[in-house]
């Protein structure tokens, strides 16, 4: 049994935001052990050209305030290559569930980006699970989340979320 945790970073806050980073960690849901992962810094100009999605005003400024500028990341790949890498990660694996924080943001945005390069996401909507809902339920049952700030690095955020998930369930 394998689960996936997906995180993206975007240049906006709505579901039409362009993404510039994708990460996925495949893990054992019994103990949280990482099985494999992918991480891609996506060329934002390629994303804008292929999807027609543009950064929302102020978002680049916000990223720069975080000491990060997504426009100067080295080793950027095309949207098609990053989508292909995520598909390859799922291939040959029996991924039962795909987690995100929250699916109605990350996975919806990914679906649109996949469609722009003629691909379908490698999971079904029936397999999507919401990390945010589990966190809310755990807090209602008395769980206290450790003070950890999101790194705004998609791979590190995936790993953090897997670790927190294992604490909560």
Q: How far apart are CA 73 and CA 61, in angstroms?
A: 16
- C-alpha span between 51 and 114 (Å, rounded): 10
| Domain spans in the chain, listed from the N-terminal domain onward | 2-168
CATH C-level class of 2-168:
alpha beta
- Give the predicted TM-score (pTM) of the model: 0.94
Measure the CA–CA gap between 127 and 99, rounded to whole angstroms.
Answer: 8
Q: pLDDT tens digits, residue range 5-56? A: 999 999 999 999 999 999 999 999 999 999 999 999 999 999 999 999 999 9
- Quick: pLDDT tens for 62-101: 888 877 766 666 789 999 999 999 999 999 899 999 999 9
- C-alpha 105/C-alpha 112 separation (Å) is 11
Phi, psi of 154 (to 5 degrees): -55, -40
């Amino acid at each position: 049994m394998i689960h996936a945790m997906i995180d993206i970073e975007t240049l906006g806050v709505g579901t039409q935001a362009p993404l510039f980073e994708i990460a996925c960690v495949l893990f054992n849901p019994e103990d949280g052990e990482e099985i494999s992962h992918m991480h891609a810094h996506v060329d934002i100009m390629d994303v804008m050209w292929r999807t027609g999605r543009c950064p929302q005003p102020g978002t680049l400024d916000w990223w720069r305030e975080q000491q990060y500028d997504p426009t100067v990341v080295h080793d950027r790949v095309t949207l098609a290559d990053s989508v292909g890498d995520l598909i390859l990660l799922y291939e040959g694996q029996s991924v039962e569930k795909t987690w995100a924080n929250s699916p109605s943001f990350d996975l919806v945005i990914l679906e649109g980006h996949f469609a722009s390069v003629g691909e379908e996401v490698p999971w079904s909507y029936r397999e999507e699970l919401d990390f945010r809902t589990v966190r809310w339920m755990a807090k209602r049952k008395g769980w206290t989340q450790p003070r950890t700030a999101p790194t705004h690095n998609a791979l590190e955020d995936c790993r953090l979320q897997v670790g927190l998930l294992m604490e909560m369930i």
